[in-house]
């Protein structure tokens, strides 16, 4: 108010009228024009991390990333920094729950939403999604290690047949050193119910588990992976070609998602870090 009236009246008179000391008024003006270098530094850092996440990271994730770099900052302060920088996360809202239906007679739901797995390579989850590339849809199959929420296998094809999920499983099996006695959980898709996939289950000494029909919550960790991929990484209009899609999606799944992206499930750690810490504790015990 004093700033607005100072062009018409003397500053001393205005300060006396509003009960403000003149020294206090001038100190306020200097503070208002002074550049907060520390806040500017944090805001620039915030923009860089937000850009690296392709606009997907929210205040909680970005705060954890900064704390991981040794920066002492609270989430609410960081939320104000995001507002000042006009940064808004593009994470989608949750979808309504669907009614539960029955299990598959010959392949039961062994997992039963027991998503808290104590050790890696005990339970894997798999699923398929579709992504636009060039002039048509391409199909992505992913295998997730449920304990650290780490992507252990994936495959991309232009057709959605049983070979897609078998290839993703084969890659995971080789990458993880041919583990045994794993429970492999998926939905009731025809690819996972195919003879060739069930033969792989037998050959790799794995036990197959399937969600109840039409119940995505029975395989919620995989649904979360695909939601993150599409909301955080895949361009809104899809990819220009199959080759571009394979390169970029592989970079996300085996790079950013596994090594950089922080997960609440892992107490603010990336899947790789969480698995390494778990192995360190096991070695000590």
Give the pLDDT score at 82.
81
pLDDT along the chain (285 residues), means of 10: 58 68 69 66 80 78 79 79 78 57 74 92 96 95 97 96 97 96 94 95 96 84 94 92 97 96 91 91 54
Q: Find the angle CA(148)-CA(160)-CA(205) to the nearest 5 degrees.
A: 50
Domain 123-283: homologous superfamily in CATH: Ribonuclease H-like superfamily/Ribonuclease H (3.30.420.10)
Closest to 154 measured CA to CA, from 81, 65, 225: 225
Output the pLDDT for position 256.
Answer: 95
Q: At what angle do helices 37-52 and 75-84 cross, to 10 degrees?
A: 80
pTM over 0.85: no
The confidence score (pLDDT) of residue 285 equals: 38
Sequence-separated (6 or more) residues with CB below 8 Å from residue 267: 274
Longest dimension (CA), the chain: 91
User: Bridge partners of 139?
Assistant: 130, 157
**Measured distance between the N- and C-terminal CA atoms of the chain, rounded to whole angstroms:** 67
């Amino acid at each position: 108010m004093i700033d607005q009236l100072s062009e018409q009246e003397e500053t001393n008179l205005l300060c006396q009228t509003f009960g403000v000391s003149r020294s206090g008024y001038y100190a306020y003006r200097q503070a208002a024009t002074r550049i907060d270098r520390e806040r500017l530094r944090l805001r620039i850092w915030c923009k860089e991390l937000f850009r690296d996440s392709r606009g997907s990271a929210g205040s909680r994730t970005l705060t954890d990333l900064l704390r991981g770099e040794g920066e002492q900052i609270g989430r609410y302060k960081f939320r104000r920094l995001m507002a000042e920088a006009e940064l808004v996360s593009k994470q989608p809202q949750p979808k309504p729950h669907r009614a539960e239906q029955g299990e598959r007679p010959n392949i039961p739901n062994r997992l039963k939403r027991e998503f808290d797995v104590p050790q890696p390579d005990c339970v894997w989850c798999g699923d398929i999604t579709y992504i636009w590339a060039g002039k048509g849809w391409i199909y992505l199959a992913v295998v997730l290690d449920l304990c650290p929420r780490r992507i252990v296998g994936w495959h991309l094809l232009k057709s959605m047949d049983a070979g897609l999920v078998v290839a993703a499983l084969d890659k995971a099996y080789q990458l993880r050193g041919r583990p045994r006695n794993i429970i492999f959980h998926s939905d009731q898709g025809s690819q996972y119910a195919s003879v060739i996939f069930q033969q792989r289950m037998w050959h790799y000494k794995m036990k197959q588990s399937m969600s109840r029909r039409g119940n995505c919550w029975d395989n919620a960790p995989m649904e979360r992976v695909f939601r993150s991929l599409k909301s955080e990484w895949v361009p809104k209009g899809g990819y220009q070609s199959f080759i571009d899609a394979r390169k970029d999606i592989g970079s996300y799944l085996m790079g950013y998602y596994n090594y950089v992206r922080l997960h609440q499930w892992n107490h603010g750690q990336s899947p790789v870090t969480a698995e390494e810490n778990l192995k360190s504790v096991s070695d000590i015990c």
